[in-house]
Amino acid sequence: MTPGAFVTPVAPNEVWDVERIRKDFPILHQQVHGKPLVYLDSAATSQKPQAVIDALVAYYSVDNSNVHRGVHVLSERATAAYEGARARIQHHLNAASPREIVFVRQATEGINLVMASFGRRFVGPGDEIVISAIEHHANIVPWQMLCEEKGARLRVVPVDERGEIVMEAYVRLLGSRTKLVAMTQVSNALGTVTPIEEIIRLAHQQDIPVLVDGAQAVPHQSVDVQALDCDFYVFSGHKAYGPTGIGVLYGKERWLERMPPFQGGGDMIKAVTFEKTTYNELPYKFEAGTPHIAGAIGLAAGLEYIAGLGLDRIGEYERELLACGTRLLSAIPGVRLIGTARHKAAVLSFVLDGVHAHDLGTILDQQGVAVRAGHHCAMPVMQRFGVPATVRASMTFYNTPAELETLAAAVEGAREIFA
Amino acid sequence: MSDLRDLYQQVILDHNRKPRNFRRIADANRTAEGHNPLCGDQIALYLTVEDGVVKDAAFQGSGCAISKAAASMMTAGVIGKPEPEVEALFHRVHAMLTGANGAAAEVGKLAVFAGVREFPSRIKCVTLAWHTLQAALRGAAEPVSTE
């Protein structure tokens, strides 16, 4: 497979046929508690199209082998498929080189890699890392660990009552001590789409590198790392219609070259003696041990699938879903939406007066509606908005307006139980 | 919705709306804190124990209806009981929620929580208060966590 072989099979003027798209997702066609499944938890993990399932089955049925070492045909095929997946992902993100695409377990591991490798090399006592108040724990805790180890300081950009980054505060926090900005592109808890281009531009004015947490962006929009000019970009495969256990760290070659390895082991070395080990070239320097070969292939299939649907059209349809869901939930007395950013992904985080999110989650589940109830691995966000937890309905292109009506009716049902 | 009515019985909804013993005991001689990191439920439990008998019990905190009702009914249920009886009641409640036979016998009004058995992800909402109570009676220094 070559990147040039990937074409968009859907004509841009074709209507969005959600029923046809739903047929690609076998898991959606089931009943839970005697009700049709309404899956509104794609921000936690997305469902997988048949194309991804088939890619995994085909790999394990036909090509399974270890990569980068065997002289036999299966190893050559597995290596070609694994490196083909890397090329597909490079193409999808418009990275300059496959050397900049490092396979990791998920966004969390990508951030931890940058923390351990970049952080240990370039961050020292008195230095500062800038994050925002709407980060996932995965983009908070590694930096806290680094700051504690190095005597550095974590600075947090606040958000306003809509859940938008306060840009004036961001600008004030940037300075000569800032060694890295680590910021989300789309908030998992609120759906806020941050002005990431502006965030990167302002940091670069002061030569500060930027890591972007794209876990909630890649599944829903096109991402061009060269246009963004970000220094690092991470995302998880399982939220982008691929398998669990695989993710990607994009890093600019000039940074990755200067960074020490993350973990030691096989594959990341050129030569080992007890006196000295020579590290492998990029990206293998950062891929110790046998990688998740099938996962990489499955993730590439997932990205290929959404590219085939058309990411612009996905965005357009999801904006319609968001408007529909916002209208339906806002009409229910006692519902308060948490996170009302003007530029927002298809996420509805909300609370219902007098009903705890955990109870609401159970009641919705009994109606077949799968949502996340809790703090969404973003406890500081909950504290900012003064709620212990929210219910989060997160939508994607396989959801329908009818499903959102089922959600709204189930929320009404909860109100009645607790009335 | 029949299963839901088993879970959210009127008694539970009533205790959720008007929790009993929802206060701080300023001179409590046994206290403990509990936390369910999964859903953020938090409870602070206060006990006055004299001559091995729970003279007063109260709680504060935030949580779902099940956890609040569980704490409310638990405090009401243990006031006046000697410590060994409280401990025995804890084990019977635990058995009702997780045990093989699910016997709701000898737990009195707490039998309203029997329906929680059918909702495995919610069992900890009931047991949080009880684990915190046990920690308070045993004088545990660390906050209790369900995880």
Q: What is the per-residue pLDDT for A12?
A: 55
Cβ atoms of A340 and A163 closer than 8 Å: yes
Cβ atoms of A373 and A332 closer than 8 Å: no
According to CATH, the topology of domain A55-307 is Aspartate Aminotransferase; domain 2 (3.40.640)
Same fold, A12-41+310-418 and A55-307: no
Using the predicted structure, report yes or no on whether residue A8 has a pLDDT greater than 70.
no
Average pLDDT of A78-86? 97
Cβ atoms of A167 and A195 closer than 8 Å: yes
Contact B4 A379 (CB under 8 A): no
Question: CA-CA distance, A169 to A231, in Å (whole number)?
Answer: 22
Reduce the DSSP state of residue A190 to 3 states and report it: coil
CATH code for B2-140? Answer: 3.90.1010.10
Q: Where does the pLDDT of residue A385 fall: very low under 50, low under 70, confident under 90, or very high at 90 and above?
A: very high
Give residue limits of the domains in chain B: 2-140
Cβ atoms within 10 Å, residue A279: 16
Pick A335 or A419 by higher pLDDT: A335
| Rounded (5°) CA angle A158-A159-A162 | 165
Q: Where does the pLDDT of residue A7 fall: very low under 50, low under 70, confident under 90, or very high at 90 and above?
A: very low
Best A352, A355, A362 member to test B by mutation, with max B CBs in 10 Å, is A362
Active site residue A377: yes
Instruction: Name the residue type at position A308.
Output: G
Provide, rounded to the nearest whole percent, the portion of chain A with pLDDT above 90: 90
**How far is Cα of residue B33 from the mean position of the Cα atoms in its chain?**
12
Best B3, B4, B14, B60 member to test A by mutation, with max A CBs in 10 Å, is B4
Q: What is the pLDDT along chain B (147 residues), one digit of tens a residue?
A: 457 888 899 999 999 999 999 999 999 999 999 998 877 789 999 999 999 999 999 999 999 999 999 999 999 999 999 999 999 999 999 999 987 665 556 888 999 999 898 898 899 999 999 999 999 999 866 677 777
Average pLDDT of A341-359? 96
Average pLDDT of A324-348? 98
Of A11-20, A140-149, A380-389, B121-130, which gets the smallest average pLDDT? Answer: A11-20
Domain A12-41+310-418, CATH 1.20.120.140 — does that match? no
Using the predicted structure, report yes or no on whether residue A49 has a pLDDT greater than 90.
yes
Contact A374 B63 (CB under 8 A): no
Residue carrying the six token digits 């401990």: B87
| Rounded (5°) CA angle A158-A131-A300 | 125
Q: Radius of gyration over alpha carbons of chain B, in Å?
A: 14
Max Cα separation, chain B?
47
Q: Where does the pLDDT of residue A305 fall: very low under 50, low under 70, confident under 90, or very high at 90 and above?
A: very high
Using the predicted structure, report yes or no on whether residue A21 has a pLDDT greater than 60.
yes
Contact A366 B4 (CB under 8 A): yes
Q: What is the per-residue pLDDT for A1?
A: 41
User: Is this prediction's pTM over 0.95?
Assistant: no
Q: What is the per-residue pLDDT for A281?
A: 94
Question: CA-CA distance, A393 to A29, in Å (whole number)?
Answer: 19
Question: CA-CA distance, A215 to A234, in Å (whole number)?
Answer: 7
Cβ atoms within 10 Å, residue A102: 25
Q: Which residues of B touch A378 (CB under 8 A)?
A: none
Helices (H) and strands (E) in chain A, counts: 15, 17
B101 touches chain A (CB under 8 A): no
Instruction: Give the one of A362, A382, A388 whose C-beta lies nearest to B122's C-beta.
Output: A362
B residues 103..132 contacting A (CB < 8 A): 119, 121-122, 125
Using the predicted structure, report yes or no on whether residue A401 has a pLDDT greater than 90.
yes
Question: CA-CA distance, A396 to A239, in Å (whole number)?
Answer: 11
Q: What is the per-residue pLDDT for A3?
A: 43
Q: What does A96-154 look like in DSSP terms, one character per residue?
A: S-GGGEEEESSHHHHHHHHIIIIIHHH--TT-EEEEETT--GGGTHHHHHHHHHHT-EE
Tell me the pLDDT of chain A averaged across its residues.
95
Q: What does B50-118 look like in DSSP terms, one character per residue?
A: ETTEEEEEEEEEE--HHHHHHHHHHHHHHTT-BHHHHHHHHHHHHHHHHSSS---TT-GGGGGGGGGGG
Reduce the DSSP state of residue A1 to 3 states and report it: coil
Question: CA-CA distance, A33 to A305, in Å (whole number)?
Answer: 31
Q: Please, what's the b/e burial string for A230-266 (b: 16 or more CB within 10 A of its CB; e: otherwise)? A: bbbbbbbbbbbbbbbbbbbbbbbeebbeebebbeeee
Q: What is the per-residue pLDDT for B101?
A: 60
Q: Which residues of B touch A356 (CB under 8 A)?
A: 63-65
Residue carrying the six token digits 């300075």: A175
Question: Six-digit token pair at A184?
Answer: 């989300």
ipTM score of the complex? 0.88
Give residue limits of the domains in chain A: 12-41+310-418, 55-307
* Per-residue three-class SS string for A277-340: EEECCCCHHHCCCCCCHHHHHHHHHHHHHHHHHCHHHHHHHHHHHHHHHHHHHHCCCCEEECCC
| pLDDT tens sequence across A232-265 | 999 999 999 999 999 999 999 999 999 999 999 9
